[in-house]
Amino acid sequence: MKFLKPIVNRRLRLLAAALMVGTMLLDVVVLEIRYLIPDTVRPNDSNFVNNPEGNGAVLERLAAQSGQPCDIIFIGASNVEYWDTEGKPVWDHYYAPRHAFNFGVAGDKTENVLWRFDHMNLSRLKPKVAVVFVGLNNLLYATPREVVMGVKAISEKTRSVFPGIKVIVVSLTPNWRDNGAVVQANKILRAYADNKNIFYVDIYSHMPPEGDNWKGLKPDHLHFTEGGYEMWAEQMEPLMQKLISPLPSDSAAAITVPDQAQIK
């Protein structure tokens, strides 16, 4: 039987080599999948678990919205949620008259927004315009390309949930996390807009440096002041008038509208 040992050993070596090659190929496939389908586009419930208060608040807003008109939906994380606090005077002026709904939750990344779309019932809302401002929280771990993939996934999800809706993608803002990545992401976002169904609004360039911070941001270098919300609304107003309607006359008196040439 000794003559069988070389054959058996050779077969075992071939099997081991085949397993090694298979493992390497599997690793390559996994890496490729992670590259093509990053975490930013995979629905994830982490912030629903970690922030029950914020998610509970948006569920309460959804319940209160039942039977009410909704022409605009704002989608995003803390800077969207805080339209209800720091930005409320601006919201009441520009968006309450247009029946806007706030679908923002502090701490959300793009994947958390996608999860909420899948698990919160938005069927009673019939908005004509969606405002998407999200992705800053993803910069803690994702590349600009991956962040934009998440924003695009949310935009497409929004269009599938609300057929015929127009989506306004808002530029990411300067912040302490990675301002260079913000600039790169905004270049990709701008190119994504087709000015038919997807529109891009640049607020980044209207937030110049001020000392160790940027205009319109709180000392945390991340969240808007009331003046920041006013600037955001002013830059978006020409597009809002184009896609929705002018504000009611009793709300429009104090508006400072940017040059219409800013809309391409």
Same structural domain for residues 28 and 75? no
Same structural domain for residues 13 and 77? no
Mean pLDDT of 242-259: 62
CA angle centred on 125, ends 51 and 247, rounded to 5°: 100
- Which residue has better confidence, 220 or 23? 220
Same structural domain for residues 102 and 121? yes
Please give the pLDDT value at position 247.
Answer: 78
Same structural domain for residues 85 and 10? no
Per-residue pLDDT band for 1 (boundaries 50, 70, 90) equals: low
Structure tokens, 154: 């949310």
Q: How far apart are the C-alpha atoms of 233 and 236, rounded to whole Å? A: 5
List CB contacts of 39: < 8 A, sequence separation 6 or more.
Answer: 111, 141, 142, 146
pLDDT of 24-80, one tens digit each? 555 444 444 555 789 999 999 999 999 999 999 999 999 999 889 999 999 999 999
Q: How far apart are the C-alpha atoms of 88 and 124, rounded to whole Å? A: 24
Same structural domain for residues 29 and 124? no
Please give the pLDDT value at position 257.
Answer: 39
List CB contacts of 14: < 8 A, sequence separation 6 or more.
Answer: none
Same structural domain for residues 27 and 152? no
Same structural domain for residues 136 and 248? yes
Same structural domain for residues 32 and 158? no
Same structural domain for residues 198 and 225? yes
Q: How far apart are the C-alpha atoms of 213 and 95, rounded to whole Å? A: 28
Same structural domain for residues 10 and 118? no
Per-residue pLDDT band for 263 (boundaries 50, 70, 90) equals: very low
pTM strictly above 0.85: no
47 is in which domain, residue-wise? Answer: 43-262
Q: Does residue 129 contact residue 72 with C-beta atoms inside 8 Å?
A: yes
Q: Is 42 helix (H, G, I), strand (E, B) or coil?
A: coil
Same structural domain for residues 84 and 152? yes
Please give the tally of structural domains in the chain. 2
Mean pLDDT of the chain: 87
Same structural domain for residues 180 and 123? yes
Looking at the predicted structure, is the pLDDT value of residue 261 above 50? no
What is the arrangement of strands in the sheet containing 198-201, beginning at the earlier edge strand? 100-104, 72-76, 129-133, 166-170, 198-201
